[in-house]
Structure 1
Amino acid sequence: MLQLVQLRWLAVAGQLATILLTHVVFDIRLPLIPMLGVLAGLVALNVASVGLLRRARPITNAELFIGLLLDVAALSAQLYFSGGATNPFVSLFLLQVVLGAVLLERWSSWVLVVATSVAFALLTAVYRPIVLPPDIPGDLFALHVQGMWVCFALVAVLLVMFVTRINGNLRAQDANLAEIRRQAVEEEHIVRIGMLASGAAHELGTPLSSLSVILGDWRRNKTIARNADLARDVEEMQAEIQRCKAIVTSILLSSGDARGEQSAATTVRTLLDRVIADWCVARDFTNAVYADHFGRDVPIASDVVLQQAVFNLLDNAAEVSPSINIRLAREDDALVLRVCDEGPGFAAEQLANLGKPYNSSKPELGRGLGLFLVGNVARTLGGTLAARNLAKGAEVTLRLPLAAIRLGEDDDG
């Protein structure tokens, strides 16, 4: 519809220029009032078409079909007042046929072919002849040939403009569909990972419970209780079992939903301070420098998956660097977390495929899922994940819009 609106504006300008040129330069008297009335009708049609474009729902085939039929009627009226089929611009009917073939469904395209053919046939018999002045310069046939050349050039230019624009739209649509398919494949992959993780968590529950019972029996055993070293070892094993059970419970609670039932009220600063501190303790990592430049705190909803995304981001940096720098900031009403490491950086292929599964330089099978899962969480919340190499190391940036995780409006808006 937008293409038709633009072409219709060109048609109005071209017809107005042609009418004035014929009337003023060649002194050929045309019925100006009805012909200008047809142009006014085209302007009204364009205004109505723009109104249709501003609606929320898509343009239908019927609306495009009616618009093209009205264009055919307007062209037929202009030709009727200016010589009918003897007018060299009668070939403009072909432009309407091409537009219909490109834009309309098959049945409506053929109806448009019939409509233009009938209009052409009627214009061969019913029209107002052009009254030429007696002193018109040049040969009449030569003027007709010149008019045919102008019509051919006009149709050729308009067709190239229109078809080129339509092809560009189709290429953009194909690229969008390819991106949607890629995201669907990635999300299917995430579902499979979630199902495998959930299944593994269920299967691990039984042996972990059995080990917990056995360790409890050992702890009550008098022989082990009298040996301080063995008692301490059993106590440490029980603590590790409880930690494993907590991890399994976390997997079961968070599988499948990035904003699920485990969401809790917190703030940006409280969440990041706690998550980074927990990560340093869990990984026994002491060389993490954390800088908070977020500004005024904002209440947000926190859940296990969001925390795990930050864990994965930090794990990815800690695997390749003995020290990391973490910077929290607020940019354009978005939470921005930057993690810089001192590792070897990303290969060009890794940067090009950032956010895709198994995109890792590590030789072990199954690696490269950390940033993939972080990128999926970012995309689910409407954010982005980006990476770049520094002079030494690399920087990974997680950006999340506060509107996606905010609990209420803060004073900063």
Structure 2
Amino acid sequence: MGTDLAAKFEPSSRRLRLETLIRLRWVAVAGQLVTVLLVAFWFEFSLPLAACLGLISALAAANTVLWLRFPATYRLEPFAAFAVLSLDLFQMGALLFITGGLSNPFAPLICIPVIISFASQPTRHSIALFVTALAFITLLAFTTSPLPWFEGQALTVHPLLQLGMWCSIVSMMAFAAFYAYRVSRESSLLADALTATELILQREKHLHQLDGLAAAAAHELGTPLATISVVAKEMERELGQDERYREDVQLLRSQSERCRDILRRLTTLANEDEAHMRQLPLSSMIEEVIAPQREFGVEIELIEQSDRSEEPVGIRNPGILYGLGNLLENAVDYARSKVTVSTEHSPTHVRVTIADDGEGFAPGVLQRIGDPYVTDRQQNARAGGLGLGLFIAKTLLERSGASLRFENGEAPGTGARVLVTWARADMEGGAP
């Protein structure tokens, strides 16, 4: 159950929205232009003004072309985004190269394209951009262009300080890029997992609604089929004695009657079964969860610790059925020979415990249990992963008001337990 979903909802890199990038670049153009003009005319520092304005104009021109060429909703392919971010990197690197290199207080801004790439692009493109930026930062340490400063004064930076600035910028870029990558990846994983959860819940609801669809179809087909039946009777009365048509007419009438019987059963199916299908006692719900797992060579023992006559009766909830089914499937996968399902209820709470006699949860997995794409309990060759499927099960059960606790047996290697607990009011009155 969970393994198939994990294959379908593997995390994918998000495409960078061009409009967002264009707006960021306009901010960069405005910031660079204001900074250069202030340095040149307010502080009256000497700097290559024409070259600086040329580089800023080139960035503005490239941004204008992108703005006019593509619609606002366009999303860049990974290679196109890499090319655009590389252009930004080259422009910023060139501007810093002619204005003092690493001694320029704005030198850390060269890290921005790399951070954007790691937050939104595939790893291979981001690493290539990181290496390019590293080369630029190293080149900036050897620039011969002086930092714009007061006339008649030369601001010299000691080589050791240059090395320190190089180390600080590189380390800041590496840390910020790694952080952006991790946050973006986790967000993408969570979004994909929640999408899979919604699809599973919708599928379970659609299966539950099939009886209603059948009744609706039977109702719609009832009128034309009644007309066919009437016409068949008239034909039988008129042509019943004719040897050429008698068998065909009788067959037509018998089959129309058969269709009416089928539609009648479909019509009454929802009415007859609706009550017990919507209201599901705890024992019936657990049996429905257990039944599909009995044929896999693992003994499943059901222990009812409370009197069945006082068991809760709740609304049939596809999310609960799927969630408990997934937990039981994982227990069967990892069990050596036996899985125990225990139920307990009181006037205030309902608890279902699923325990197996396998190796139990690995310590690292137990700390992160329920996160999407956390796989492997202990390395079990015949068992699937404990990843997306378990995340979906946990999410669906928590939506129904349940709290889950995952733990190992008291002694090492004595199996794992999952305790699912509801307030009785949530179990009996929860929406499907």
Q: Relative contact order (C-alpha < 8 Å, sep 6+): which is higher?
A: 2
Q: TM over 0.5: same fold?
A: no
Instruction: Tell me the TM-score range normalised by the shorter chain.
Output: 0.3 to 0.5
With the length of structure 2 as denominator, give the TM-score of the two structures.
0.38
